[in-house]
Amino acid sequence: MNTTLNELKKGQSAKIIEFKNPETRLQSARFGIEVGQVIKCIAKLGTVVIQKNQQQIAIGKGLSKEILVKEV
């Protein structure tokens, strides 16, 4: 089932389905994060911290609401 990134619980992994905000999509591409990849939520502080391989990225709540993911 699809949800948004901010709905993930700590420790949950999910596949990125869509970036609703195109600016975020481009910035993510630079960070090495893109649609189709599996990420893991490693901290939830209102702000979400995700991990992909060795890389960790902190995403504010406002942005994380606009990122569609699918739990895996």
Partner 1 sequence: MSLLSCGGCKGCSANQKIKTDGKLLNIALVGNPNVGKSVIFNALTGYYVEVSNYPGTTVDTPTADTSFGKLIDTPGIYGIGNHNDEEIIAKNIVLNSDIIVNVVSALSLERDLFLTLQLIDMGFPLIVVLNQYDEAISNGIKINSEILEKHLGVKVITAIATKNQGICQIKDFLINNSQITSGIVSDYLKNFIADENLEKVKRIEIISELESDFDKKEVIYSSRRKKINKIIENILSTKENDFTISGYLGNLLLNPVAGVITAAFVLFALYQVVGVMVAGNIVDFLENKILLKYYFPFITNIINSIIPSGSINQILVGEFGLLTMTFQYILGLLLPLVFSFNLFMAILEDSGYLPRLAALTDRFLTKLGLNGRAIIPLILGFGCITMATITTRILGSQRERTIATAVLGLIIPCSAQLGLIIGLIAIAGGLKAWLIYLITIFTILTIVGTVLNKILPGESTHLFIDLPPMRLPLFKNVINKTLSKTKHFLIEATPLFLLGSLFISILQVSGSLIFIQKALAPLTVNLLHLPPETANVFIMGLIRRDFGAAGLAGMAGLNGGIAVLNHSQIIVSLVVITLFVPCIASVVIMFKERGWKEASLIWIGSWVSAFITGSFLSNVLRIFM
Q: Which is nearer to partner 1, 1 or 9 (CB)?
A: 9
The interface mask with partner 1, positions 44-63, x = CB under 8 A, is -xxx-x--xxxxxxxxxxxx
Q: Which is nearer to partner 1, 1 or 53 (CB)?
A: 53
Binding string, 19-38, against partner 1, x = CB under 8 A?
Answer: ---x-xxxx-xxxx-x----
Q: Which residue has the tokens 């911290």?
A: 49
Q: Does 72 help bind partner 1 (rule: CB under 8 A)?
A: no
Read out DSSP for 4-58? EGGGPPTT-EEEEEEESSHHHHHHHHHHT--TT-EEEEEEEESEEEEEETTEEEE
| Shortest CB 44 distance to partner 1, Å | 9
